[in-house]
Structure 1
Amino acid sequence: MTDSNAVVEHRTLFIGGRWAEPAGRDTIEVISPVTERVVGRVPHATPEDVDLAVAAAREAFDHGPWPRLPLKERIEVVTRIKDALAARHQELAELITLQNGSPMLFSVRGQALSAVGTFGVAIAAAGRFQEEEERQGTGGPVLVRREPVGVVAAITPWNVPQLTIAGKLAPALLAGCTVILKPSPETPLDALWLAQVCADSGLPEGVLSVLPADRETSSYLVAHPGIDKVAFTGSVGAGKAIAAAAARNLTRVSLELGGKSAAILLDDADLSVAVPAIVGGTCAANSGQACVALTRVLVPAARYDEVAAVLTGAFAGLKVGDPSDPGTVVGPMVTRKQRERNLDYIRIGQEEGAKVLTGGGVPSGLATGWYVEPTLFGDVTNDMRIAREEIFGPVVCLIRYGTEDEAVALADDSEFGLSGAVFGADEARATEIARKVRTGTVTVNGFRLDLAAPFGGYKNSGIGREFGPEGLAAYFEYKTVNLPAPAKA
């Protein structure tokens, strides 16, 4: 287990595949959400560091060997990265928990091993990939080529840092792109750890840079004319700002943004199936700090009291506390600000007329650390702020509905469309309801984010898809070469 009393310190940045002195003197301090003490310190990248990283990435892409290597050789390098992550996944999980307070059970499975799995899926997709194919066009034969998009700026969040990095870095590298990774200032340590793994795995110089920084440097990176594509995971507000900045250079963007996902319980839903999945898709999913969380639970009016009682008991029984304890299900919020945001929304929900069925405050006995009780609201209507705005914590709303059509309408009555679930004993019926909901991922009788399938959202939940073959395809441009038409007889 990582020593929580030690401070992990980096004095250099990873620029163009080399450890380099930063241009500025500012640093980022990583604060433990458990102890509220400094546990890490890294250089704060400046616009000057961005210029150096972009120049290195540009040179490596325009003139270096990486995009020109046979795909088989790129797969070999990326496989070495994956294998190193797998061999050291426990170390990686502990480093993530140190920074963001993710419970260890989730850090191992949902953070470190999910990143390994994402690399594996991307490698498998690349192995089936055709860089070019010949077709018969209307005027003669054509050669359709898939070529790497170029220099990629990958901007990742603090909640699942390695999973979101893997969803961008693995396909970008396999496609032949070069990458500038800008991790969240809350979780820079695992990104710099990964940089050394990539270097040790034989990734050529210039192909990867890692620049921890705040919003100002991020804005400079996104607007840089040397960037060909921005891949971002984060808030809707930041995503809109990135899209606007990238549009000035017509830079390609993929955006994975927020969610306010609905779990629809049909009238024949089995609560022994539905309740564990809802708990797993809310409070147990990184302490509710997950964009895919099932934060709206839609319940038939005739079964409302039954569902409320069972779900209240399940939430009340969750262990909250030190994330290094293997029995902990709900850890702290990542920052003091995030805890206050959750508590503010709990107050707003009560003012709007919703009823706290369990939770609603700070757990007793946890004076140190940024904890929030798993909170279940009853008597929620879909027009309340707690039902419409992303809270990003262990706060869930119970909402009554009458007919199945009303349930679908309520699920869709949101600016988001990222995830969701449908629960019912009749799987065919539940699947048909799932088809109707306008959201990027829906699980029937469960909660799952499948790394082999495309992931992304409708509406304000984003643009584009990650994971699976679709995630790999997002890092290619298509070129048509019109071949000479056969001579006429």
Structure 2
Amino acid sequence: MLSYRRNFIDGRRQTPLGRLRVEVRSPYDDAWLGQAPLASPADIELAVQAARQALQRRSWSGATHQARLAILERFWSLYRAQVDELVLLSVRQTAVPVTAARDLMAQVLEAGEARLAQARRAVGGPRADQRQSAGIVAAITAWNATQPSAVSWLLPSLLAGCSMILALPPACPLDGQWLGELLAEAGLPDGVFNIVVADDAACLGMAAHSEIDWLAFSGPAELAADLARARAATGKSLVLGLHGRATGILLPDADLGAVISALGPRLFLASGQGPSNPSRLLAPRHRQAELVEALSSLARTLPVGDPRDARTVIGPLISESARMRAASLLDEAAAAGAEIVVRGDDASPRQGAVMGPTLVANVSPTMTLVHSEPWAPVATVIPYGDLDEAIAIANALPGRPSAAVWSEEPSIALAVATRLRAAHVALNPKALVADLAAVAREREEPFSYLQVLTCSES
């Protein structure tokens, strides 16, 4: 097990200035997994000053793009060698089923490789020496996708020459700790990369810190609004990577067999706690019953149990409070007229904070269940009348990170897709899953600026 008694600040482990610690236990069997110090305001300040001094020394921000890339290539090799252990730690820490954890890690590696390949192409290019570091980046990672969000912020910010503070969530503070030692072993100068475990109060403190040049946040939208308000007071930059369910739209002629095949076990990716679950579905009213029947059959076949078992699709939620919150949202939806066709929090004896696959039909787009993420294995079916109504509903849903459209007529599917306000839209996908490589491409150069030098003639 892992016991971290010190923060990683200024290139080494340092005794925390605060007294609080977080203990990590498995959501499945309550086994003790480790502990880590919870950052106090003084710890945050120490990390900020270490990052600022590293910038002033210019050992990293002043290095060439090629030199920075060489160190990050070494780090990436070290990181890749640890992925199996990181996956197993993630499974114990979050209770995400091991198959889903491996799938997410494969996407982390794909996205990271794409980012480094883009950086290799830039070596020696005309823009390489014109790009200047944007300063200190504080990156707040998501509890439901710690490694994907950490790597998606780490690579672009360090490649840009920034100093960085990585804020890990108290629910999952262990696996991200490895990044500090790996970067130090790769040759990253002291102070460039720092790690703290930050609760909501600490995150808001970083958002309000005037010496942090960029605040990057990955995770649920609930905290984002408060971060944005705190950040606005500083006049400094904020980058949001909000997690939310993906939206699937079945057009009237959609091949239902192809839709069910595409969704498959990914309908409840990571026990419904994945960063972009394809579990929000819009269907024509006259086909809702058909879709619900097929989804019910699928939901009842998904194995529930030990997340370490490769056969398990649904494991426990991150905590008992998370399970109770999801159950409350279901009760509220049922009271408002939704039909709970399959309910996974029944009286079946299960270990841990488990909610089995749950399917809700006749869902109104105004229900709290739609606008407040359940972060549980809950699929919702929202009926619609015509395509204009479907598009209007989809565009009013919160988050809209990605979407899929199914139709036997490609031109109609494309016409609908072009009217959706979603970051990524898949047409008749064979599998619907978070596209972390596409997300990484969106974050290619957020933490640098192009310096244009001009001189006037006298």
TM-score of the aligned structures, taking structure 2 as reference length: 0.94
1:251 to 225, 232, 236: 236
2:189 to 200, 204, 220: 204
The answer to whether residue 359 in structure 2 is matched with residue 376 in structure 1 is: yes
**In structure 1, what is the Cα distance between the partners aligned to 2:342 and 2:123?**
54
The answer to whether residue 306 in structure 2 is matched with residue 334 in structure 1 is: no
Spell out the pairing of 1:216-295 with structure 2 (5 A cutoff).
Answer: 216-283=201-268, 285-295=269-279
Cα offsets for 1:30-89 (capped at 9, x unmatched): 121101243211112211111111111111112231111111121111112222222221
Q: Give the structure 1 partner of residue 119 of structure 2.
A: 126
**In structure 1, what is the Cα distance between the partners aligned to 2:301 and 2:143?**
27
**In structure 2, what is the Cα distance between the partners aligned to 1:146 and 1:131?**
12
2:2 to 8, 20, 24: 8
Offset at 1:133?
5.1
Q: Give the structure 1 partner of residue 40 of structure 2.
A: 46
The answer to whether residue 292 in structure 2 is matched with residue 320 in structure 1 is: no
The answer to whether residue 79 in structure 2 is matched with residue 79 in structure 1 is: no
Spell out the pairing of 1:140-159 with structure 2 (5 A cutoff).
Answer: 145-159=130-144
Q: Give the structure 2 partner of residue 25 of structure 1.
A: 19
1:412 to 367, 392, 395: 395
Offset at 1:28?
0.7
Residues 108 and 436 of structure 2 are in contact (CA less than 8 Å); yes or no, is this contact kept in structure 1?
no
Q: Aligned in 2, Cα 1:410/1:212: closer, same or farther, shift over 3 Å? A: same
- Provide the identity percentage: 32
Residues 175 and 472 of structure 1 are in contact (CA less than 8 Å); yes or no, is this contact kept in structure 2?
no
Q: Give the structure 2 partner of residue 478 of structure 1.
A: 450
Offset at 1:232?
0.4
Structure 1 unaligned regions, length at least 5: 1-6, 135-142, 456-466
**In structure 2, what is the Cα distance between the partners aligned to 1:375 and 1:342?**
10
Residues 131 and 145 of structure 1 are in contact (CA less than 8 Å); yes or no, is this contact kept in structure 2?
no
Q: Aligned in 2, Cα 1:281/1:408: closer, same or farther, shift over 3 Å? A: farther
Residues 168 and 176 of structure 2 are in contact (CA less than 8 Å); yes or no, is this contact kept in structure 1?
yes
1:65 to 59, 62, 72: 59
Q: Give the structure 2 partner of residue 95 of structure 1.
A: 89
Residues 61 and 150 of structure 1 are in contact (CA less than 8 Å); yes or no, is this contact kept in structure 2?
yes
Q: Give the structure 2 partner of residue 140 of structure 1.
A: none
The answer to whether residue 394 in structure 2 is matched with residue 422 in structure 1 is: no
1:224 counterpart SS class: coil
Offset at 1:123?
1.0
**In structure 2, what is the Cα distance between the partners aligned to 1:450 and 1:442?**
10
Offset at 1:280?
4.4
Q: Aligned in 2, Cα 1:198/1:144: closer, same or farther, shift over 3 Å? A: closer
1:217 counterpart SS class: helix
Offset at 1:93?
0.2
1:307 to 285, 291, 307: 291
1:282 counterpart SS class: helix
Q: Give the structure 2 partner of residue 117 of structure 1.
A: 110
**In structure 2, what is the Cα distance between the partners aligned to 1:286 and 1:449?**
11
In the alignment, residue 477 of structure 1 is paired with which amino acid? Y
Offset at 1:164?
0.4
Residues 282 and 396 of structure 1 are in contact (CA less than 8 Å); yes or no, is this contact kept in structure 2?
yes
Residues 297 and 398 of structure 1 are in contact (CA less than 8 Å); yes or no, is this contact kept in structure 2?
yes
Offset at 1:359?
2.2
1:473 counterpart SS class: coil
2:190 counterpart SS class: coil
Residues 132 and 450 of structure 2 are in contact (CA less than 8 Å); yes or no, is this contact kept in structure 1?
yes
Residues 141 and 169 of structure 2 are in contact (CA less than 8 Å); yes or no, is this contact kept in structure 1?
yes
1:439 to 410, 416, 422: 422
Cα offsets for 1:375-414 (capped at 9, x unmatched): 0011222222223322111111112222222211121122
**In structure 2, what is the Cα distance between the partners aligned to 1:154 and 1:72?**
24
Offset at 1:109?
1.8
**In structure 2, what is the Cα distance between the partners aligned to 1:132 and 1:238?**
39
In the alignment, residue 310 of structure 2 is paired with which amino acid? P
1:449 counterpart SS class: coil
Cα offsets for 1:164-202 (capped at 9, x unmatched): 001100111111111100100011101112222222222
Offset at 1:420?
1.4
In the alignment, residue 260 of structure 2 is paired with which amino acid? V
1:365 counterpart SS class: coil
**In structure 1, what is the Cα distance between the partners aligned to 2:188 and 2:130?**
25
Residues 220 and 244 of structure 2 are in contact (CA less than 8 Å); yes or no, is this contact kept in structure 1?
no
Structure 2 unaligned regions, length at least 5: none
Offset at 1:364?
1.9
**In structure 1, what is the Cα distance between the partners aligned to 2:281 and 2:347?**
24
2:197 counterpart SS class: coil
Cα offsets for 1:268-289 (capped at 9, x unmatched): 2222321133344431x11111
**In structure 1, what is the Cα distance between the partners aligned to 2:86 and 2:106?**
9
Residues 203 and 227 of structure 2 are in contact (CA less than 8 Å); yes or no, is this contact kept in structure 1?
no
Q: Give the structure 1 partner of residue 378 of structure 2.
A: 395
Residues 138 and 215 of structure 2 are in contact (CA less than 8 Å); yes or no, is this contact kept in structure 1?
yes
**In structure 2, what is the Cα distance between the partners aligned to 1:363 and 1:130?**
59
2:434 to 449, 465, 476: 449
Offset at 1:293?
1.9
Q: Give the structure 1 partner of residue 340 of structure 2.
A: 356
**In structure 1, what is the Cα distance between the partners aligned to 2:347 and 2:239?**
38
